[in-house]
Chain A
Amino acid sequence: MSMAPLYIDGVSILGPGLANWEEAARILCGEQPIELAPIVVAAPALLPPTERRRAGMAIKLSMAVGLAAADAAGIDPASLANVFSSTGGDCENCHNILETLASSDRMISPTRFHNSVHNAAAGYWSIATHCTAASTSLAAYDATFGAGLLEAATQALASGKPCLLIAFDTAYPEPLYALRPIPYPFGIGMVLNPARSAASLASLRLALTRDPVEPMDDAQLEHIRQQIPAARGLPLLRALATGTAGRVVLDYLDDTRLALEVGA
């Protein structure tokens, strides 16, 4: 069975060669090729100077993606319930803590420690945007995008209010990179609205399925989709970019996948 319909109000993306939604949309439509390049993301001006100095890639990336999606939806982020989905949170910070704990002086810094919680990016987001609404941070290994989409959708439908999904992944340095090779930082943002608005790009109905995923046509995009959990949302963004109504299947857990009925 599928859940009640939702509307996607504003979408954003940040990844290698995918600098913003407009550029990504042309690539997803096949109008221009993707040129893989390291992502560039500035420290968010919204954060107070102390927090800005402490902001690593996870915080910068999630904030950029979240602000772009809220802006595209025309909604003040201060009022938006939000879901942060990420397989590993701030992987660089985690590696640094593990190195310190394996050294002769194990006293990790207070900042590194409070940045180690999986919801650190969400905490900085709430401070920067003054958002006091509900916020959930979750993980489901390679199924993390699907888990985030389900949580944001159920949050929006149950509350009757829009919910912002911020799906992002960062990369571990070695030695953990060898065990979890995420090649690039990558993020997708979108606002799920239980009511249609002027900013609505498409309608969406979610259900669980066992049907297969249709891979991305472009080999590099398909590689990104397979290597980065947050990029498992790319087939949905392709449907939004091409304006194609119909059924999109996203990877979720093993043989359990998400079927999305995308409408006008």
Chain B
Amino acid sequence: MLALKLSAYTLTSALGAGILPHIDALRRQRGGIVRQHWETVDFEFCMGEVAGVDAFALRPDLARFDCRNNRLAQYALEQDGFADRVRAAIDRYGADRVAVILGSSTSGILSSEVAYRHRDPASGRLPAEHRYRETHNAYSVADFVRHYFGLSGPASVISTACSSSAKVFGAAQRMIELGLVDAALVGGIDTLCLTTIYGFSSLQLVSPNPCKPFDAQRDGISIGEGAAYALLERPDSKATGGILLTGVGETSDAYHMSSPHPEGLGARAAMTAALEQAGLQPDDIDYINLHGTATPSNDAAEDAAVDAVFGRATPCSSTKGHTGHTLGAAGGIEAIICALALDGGFMPGGVGTEARDPRLHCNYLLQTVERPLRHVLSNSFGFGGSNCSLIFSREAV
């Protein structure tokens, strides 16, 4: 496939706003998961909340989009000079030649969750100020970002649960390769809401402690929130040491709505497809950023899949112990973590994991390793059996 350059990128999570706090946290193995009360949830739980979202105000002309998800969307967009890089690309190509393809699982549903508590007792109507289209609706965040930049090119939200913002890289790559657009703003945004907090709790998938991916004592996820963006363009004719998207593999499990195939067959096929797209062999991959949610069955299935494709030597880790599981934003956040790892030459050691599960076989890093990297792979798997593996590479200079 045509490789694309990540000509700008940024991320915001429980680790902080923008790239610098993330590099620091990844290198020093600092986590952002905290036990606390949130909103009206009637129990304490461990979560990766982004500081400052509640107090953040949207640009006044976009006030109609106001909700937690779009606040985080704008807050994250304005870190690291990212929005200026997008504006420069729009100047270069035109507003109709830049696509917006974002991933989100729950969008701004928190707004409807709150509105349903305030229905008119007689008529059942929602409060007059509730804006469904600009908040709760699945497309809301891409609509918001498209208006933020005044874009008129293609746009959509991909919503395939926890693989959403990995798959946006594939959709954008196809549009650019086929000449429909010249650049794409991709990424993922998901924020805390009652649907996921109570939903994962009812499935008994939430750990009472900060999550421990690949640990023998792992007992569930920690829900997080976050946003990540990348600007994708065709690479320059001369290599400049930048970060490239070189492979995308997408498959379906066809097995179960909320459990992965126990041998990780769909995950295996996604990783193999990404390698084929990149024209690489398993040995070429220097580091794997695992999906690694820290539920007993997810990690076991992914371990079996990694073992089948790569064997047991390739260094890997999950960064869910740092950020929590940011659900529809996870693919995007971990894509940018891969870019930071390639650019800085390090492989992040896991957070929360004390002892590797002896029943798992992959080379899970408990300590950060500083080493130049050439190719890395990122896994994202979601409910409904939706799998996506991405490969990122550093241009040789």
| A219 CB within 8 Å of chain B | no
- Contact A127:B152 (CB < 8 A) given known A3-B179, A119-B159: no
Whether the pair B386, A179 counts as a contact (CB closer than 8 A) is: no
| CB 8 Å contact bits of A146-170 with B (1 = contact, 0 = none) | 0100110011011000000000000
Q: Is B257 an interface residue (CB 8 A)?
A: yes
Contact A123 B383 (CB under 8 A): yes
CB neighbours of A4 from chain B (8 A) = 178
Judge whether B153 is part of the interface by a CB distance below 8 angstroms.
yes
Select the stretch in B217-225, B227-235, B248-256, B330-338 that faces chain A. Answer: B248-256
Interchain CB contact (< 8 A) of A154 among B175, B200, B266? B175
Q: How far is the CA of A4 from the CA of B174 in the complex (A)?
A: 13
**From residue 180 to 228 of chain A, which have CB atoms closer than 8 A to chain B?**
180, 208
Residue from the list B133, B153, B161, B258 in contact with A180, Cβ < 8 A = B133
Contact (Cβ within 8 A) A154 B257: no
Interface flags, B241-283, vs A, CB<8A=1, else 0: 0000000001111111110000001100100000000000000
> What sequence of 0s and 1s flags, for each residue 74-106 of chain A, a beta carbon within 8 Å of any chain B beta carbon?
000000000000011100001001110110001
Say whether A99 contacts B137, CB under 8 Å: no
Residues of chain A within 8 A of B251, CB atoms compared: 132-134
B198 contact set on A, CB distance < 8 A: 101, 106-108, 113
Interface size class of A (residues with CB under 8 A): 35 or more
The answer to whether A135 has its CB under 8 Å from any CB of chain B is yes
User: Which chain B residues lie closer than 8 Å to A116 at the CB level?
Assistant: 195, 199
Q: Does A143 make an interface contact (CB < 8 A)?
A: yes
Report which of B96, B202, B203 forms a contact with A208, defined as CB distance below 8 A: B96
Q: How far is the CA of A158 from the CA of B157 in the complex (A)?
A: 20
Complex CA gap A254/B142 in Å reads 14
Partner of B152, one of A112, A138, A140, A253: A253
B125's closest neighbor in chain A, by CB? A175
When distances are taken between beta carbons in the complex, the residues of chain A under 8 Å from B116 are 98-99, 101-102, 175
Binary per-residue interface labels of chain B (80-120) against chain A in the complex, 1 for a CB within 8 Å, 0 otherwise? 00000000000000001000000001000100110011010
A176 lies within 8 A of chain B by Cβ: yes
Instruction: Point out the residues of chain A lying under 8 angstroms from B255, CB to CB.
Output: 127
Is B126's CB under 8 angstroms from A115's CB?
A: no
Q: For the complex, what is the distance from the CA of A107 to the CA of B194, rounded to whole Å?
A: 10
**Which of B117, B160, B170, B258 contacts A110, CB < 8 Å?**
B258
- Does B20 sit within 8 A of A, measured CB to CB? no
Say if the beta carbon of A20 comes within 8 Å of chain B.
Answer: no
Also in contact, A118 and B258, with CB within 8 A (given A113-B199, A123-B384, A134-B252): no
0/1 interface trace, chain B 115-133, chain A, CB 8 Å (1 if under):
0110100001110001011
Are the CB atoms of A118 and B160 closer together than 8 Å? yes
A141 to B178, CA, bound (A): 24
Kindly list chain A residues whose C-beta atoms are within 8 Å of the C-beta of B133: 141, 179-180
Do residues A147 and B155 form an inter-chain contact, with CB atoms below 8 A?
A: yes
**Do A136 and B160 touch across chains, with their CB atoms under 8 A apart?**
yes
The answer for the CA separation of A256 and B151 in the assembled complex, in Å, is 10
Residues of B near A140 (CB, < 8 A) are 139, 142, 155-157
Is there a chain A Cβ closer than 8 Å to B171's Cβ?
Answer: yes
With both chains docked as a complex, state the minimum distance between the C-beta of A232 and any C-beta of chain B, in angstroms: 14
Asked if B382 lies at the interface with its beta carbon under 8 angstroms from chain A, I say yes
Bound-state CA distance A163–B303 (Å) is 31
Choose among A88, A101, A157 the residue that contacts B113 (Cβ–Cβ < 8 A): A101
| A208 contact set on B, CB distance < 8 A | 96, 153-154, 180
Bound Cα distance A98, B382 (Å): 22
Contacts of B256 in A (CB 8 A): 127
Check A175 against B156 for contact (C-beta < 8 Å): no
Interface residues of B in 170-212 (CB under 8 A from A): 170-171, 173-175, 177-180, 194-195, 198-203
Given the complex, which residues of A lie within 8 Å of B130, measured CB to CB? 179
Docked complex Cα distance between A94 and B113 (Å): 10
A113 — which chain B residues lie within 8 A by C-beta? 195, 198-200, 202-203
Q: Least Cβ distance of A194 to chain B in Å?
A: 11
Contacts of B22 in A (CB 8 A): none
Report the minimal beta-carbon distance from B118 to chain A, rounded to whole angstroms. Answer: 9
Inter-chain contacts of B117 with A (CB < 8 A): 102
CB atoms of A124 and B155 under 8 A apart: no
Report yes or no: B269 in contact with A132, Cβ–Cβ below 8 A: yes
Residue of A nearest to B273 (CB): A134
Contact B156 A101 (CB under 8 A): no
Q: Is A174 an interface residue (CB 8 A)?
A: yes
Instruction: Kindly provide the distance from the CB of B251 to the nearest chain A CB, expressed in whole angstroms.
Output: 6
CA A255 to CA B150, docked complex, whole Å: 12
CB distance from B244 to the nearest CB of A (A): 17
Q: Residue A144 at the B interface, CB < 8 A? A: yes
Q: Which residue in A110, A134, A154, A179 is a CB contact (below 8 Å) of B178?
A: A154
Task: Check if A101 sits within 8 Å of B195, measured CB to CB.
Answer: yes
B155 to chain A, nearest CB (A): 6
The answer to whether B139 and A118 touch across the interface, beta carbons within 8 angstroms, is: no
Q: Evaluate contact between B119 and A175: CB separation under 8 angstroms.
A: yes
A60 vs B194: C-alpha distance when bound (angstroms): 27
- A139 lies within 8 A of chain B by Cβ: yes
Known interface pairs A108-B202, A115-B257, A144-B156; 8 further A-B residue pairs with C-beta atoms within 8 A, sorted by A's residue number: A88-B137, A106-B42, A113-B199, A119-B161, A120-B384, A139-B157, A157-B174, A208-B154
27 A-B interface contacts by CB (under 8 A): A3-B178, A87-B138, A102-B116, A102-B119, A106-B194, A107-B201, A108-B198, A110-B202, A113-B195, A113-B200, A114-B257, A117-B382, A118-B105, A118-B159, A119-B161, A119-B383, A119-B384, A120-B257, A127-B256, A132-B269, A134-B252, A136-B160, A138-B158, A140-B155, A154-B174, A158-B177, A256-B153
